Amino acid sequence: MLKITFRVDSISLHYEAITYSFQAFIGEIGGVAKAMMLVGGTITSYITHSFFMSDVLKELFLVKQSVDNDEKDEDSAGSDS
């Protein structure tokens, strides 16, 4: 902690500087739990948005999963007989 006092005539000026650690700063602005929830929420929101957009685009453009060649061969062999 730093204290500086200037005295000019009858006027007194007082300055005080307080140093904060990172944990104290986080505590002052709302706590570690809220900060962790904010970071986790941001990451979760990004991932959820990506999955949602992927599902919507699959439905809009009717994207089908590709069928393996083995299954295609079995289907075509079964329909030939």
pLDDT digits (tens, 9 = 90+) for 10-49: 666 777 877 778 878 777 777 777 888 889 999 999 999 9
CB neighbour list of residue 1: distance below 8 Å, 6 or more residues apart:
16, 17, 18, 19
- How many Å is the Cα radius of gyration of the chain? 33
Query: pTM for this one?
Result: 0.40
Spatial separation of the C-alpha atoms in residues 50 and 79, rounded to whole Å: 40
